[in-house]
Amino acid sequence: MTALLKRFEFAQWPKIHYGEGITQNLKAELSDLDTVLWVTGGKSGYYSSYFKLFIKLSGIEIQADHIVQIGAEPSPCDIDAITRRFQNTQHQTHITKVIAIGGGSVLDAGKALAAMLMTEHSLLDYLEGVGKGLPLPDQILPFIAIPTTSGTGSEMTSNAVFSQVGDKGFKKSIRHDKLIPTEIWLDSRLTMSCPPLQTACCGLDAFTQLLESYLSTKSSLITDTLAEKGLELIIKNLIPACTNKADDPDVRGELAIAAMLSGSCLANAGLGIVHGIAGPMGGFYEIPHGVACAGLIAEANQATLNALSKEDDSKHNPEDLSQKRTNAIYKMAKIGRLCAQERALSVNTLSELDYCQILVDTLFAWQKALNIPKFYQYGLRADELDALVKASSNRNNPVELSHAQIKEVILKCL
């Protein structure tokens, strides 16, 4: 049923090390440990439980002055300040490699530092759409990603995202093939300390990336195959990871693989309406990206399904629209069947649209069960959404939603 693109390209993958406790092998694999810049989360001098566990597992002695901590989604100014610190000629040791251990913001910061340490420019000069449009240098330091959350898939992508919050705020990327990590280490032990709400929001971010890539107008046979497996893994493991099996290495490991697959899918097939709203939302408001995606996913997919359910729009070529519509409904229904199976629903003689609705209903059920926050808690107000709606886009959504429909989606998430 899937329509195959006649032409497509597929980005390279890093070398992948996967397994419970696998980071205990990192020390034997690395050389020049004294010249590594370590990027992690938390506040200055107060290390997270996953970073302490990493140090214990790996047996690596890390110099305190070679550790950079990223406490929230980084801004260009944050990266510039760190870069200047390590480019100072009085600094005793030259950095030859960057290793980031943490969530998506930490990994993105690590990517940027691997690039910015090789140039004297500001990060802002390289950001898409807001900077000077300069191309990133081809010479980038080797970068190793060790994700401790299962969400953004940044460990598989060639971009890194940075934000500046405010009325003129933005959330923009740097992009270069060399930003794809040299290696990634997926260690399920390092994700076990991730608390339930963060696990839920990260998992729904990964699910969004997989579903949007799957439904994307730029999807291919390869991305569809990866997305289907990733979606299956999250449907099976998300609720257990947030409840009674948070310490199960298999559950955490399968979520980590799903997030990794989501990064590859989005890099090769693009994203849709949820990220088309969540991106600018992160520039206007101090709302974590995972929370934005987790809060939007059900209503945005309901709006997409409602639009797909309608008759052909006369503004489009009916034959072309019918094919896209049929494709998208077929795919949503396929994932709906996985949801029905996991939830042990009694489903006899249901239509394709019925299965699509089961998918969307599952998303609403997850939001309720996982206590996903409402947007008003982050300062979003119904009478101040026009700028956000105007900045939002459909990206590669299988059906185009109007500004009025996008606003209605956001209003229902407040």
Does residue 2 lie in a domain region? no
- The Cα 379–Cα 51 span in angstroms is 32
**pLDDT over threshold 60, residue 320:** no
Structure confidence at residue 348 (pLDDT): 77
If asked whether residues 172 and 260 sit together in one domain, one would say no
Tell me the per-residue pLDDT of 52-70, one tens digit each, with 9 for 90 and over.
999 999 999 999 999 999 9
Query: What's the length of the chain?
Result: 414
Average pLDDT for 321-330: 87
**Residue 183 main-chain phi, psi, to 5 deg:** -145, 155
| pLDDT, averaged across the chain | 93
Domain count, the chain: 2
**pLDDT over threshold 90, residue 90:** no
- The Cα 54–Cα 192 span in angstroms is 12
If asked whether residues 126 and 255 sit together in one domain, one would say no
Element (H, E) at 326: helix 318-342
More reliable by pLDDT, 322 or 195? 195
Q: Single out the residue in 191, 214, 241 at which a domain terminates.
A: 191
Give me the residues paired with residue 100 across strands.
39, 145
Please report which confidence band the pLDDT of residue 311 belongs to, taking 50, 70 and 90 as the band edges.
low
Q: Single out the residue in 191, 226, 250 at which a domain terminates.
A: 191
Q: For residue 373, what are the CA distances in angstroms to 35, 290, 316, 369, 414?
A: 41, 11, 38, 11, 9
Q: Single out the residue in 159, 191, 223 at which a domain terminates.
A: 191
Please report which confidence band the pLDDT of residue 386 belongs to, taking 50, 70 and 90 as the band edges.
very high
Average pLDDT for 99-110: 97
Q: Which amino acid is at 283?
A: G
* Assigned token pair, 383: 């009478």
∠ CA 79-13-200, rounded to 5°? 65
Strand (E) positions, 1-149?
15-18, 36-41, 67-70, 97-102, 143-147
Does residue 212 lie in a domain region? yes
CATH code for the domain in which residue 301 is found: 1.20.1090.10
Residues spanned by the domain of 232: 196-413
If asked whether residues 176 and 231 sit together in one domain, one would say no
**pLDDT over threshold 80, residue 225:** yes
The DSSP annotation for 135-185 comes to PPPS----EEEEESSSSS-GGG-SEEEEEE-STT-EEEEEE-GGGS-SEEE
- The Cα 166–Cα 285 span in angstroms is 7
If asked whether residues 270 and 357 sit together in one domain, one would say yes
- Asked if 11 and 17 touch (Cβ cutoff 8 Å), the reply is no
Query: 102: left (phi > 0), else alpha (psi -120 to 50), else beta?
Result: left
If asked whether residues 96 and 200 sit together in one domain, one would say no
If asked whether residues 351 and 305 sit together in one domain, one would say yes
- Asked if 212 and 274 touch (Cβ cutoff 8 Å), the reply is yes
Query: 42: left (phi > 0), else alpha (psi -120 to 50), else beta?
Result: left
**pLDDT over threshold 90, residue 77:** yes
If asked whether residues 123 and 106 sit together in one domain, one would say yes
CATH code for the domain in which residue 129 is found: 3.40.50.1970
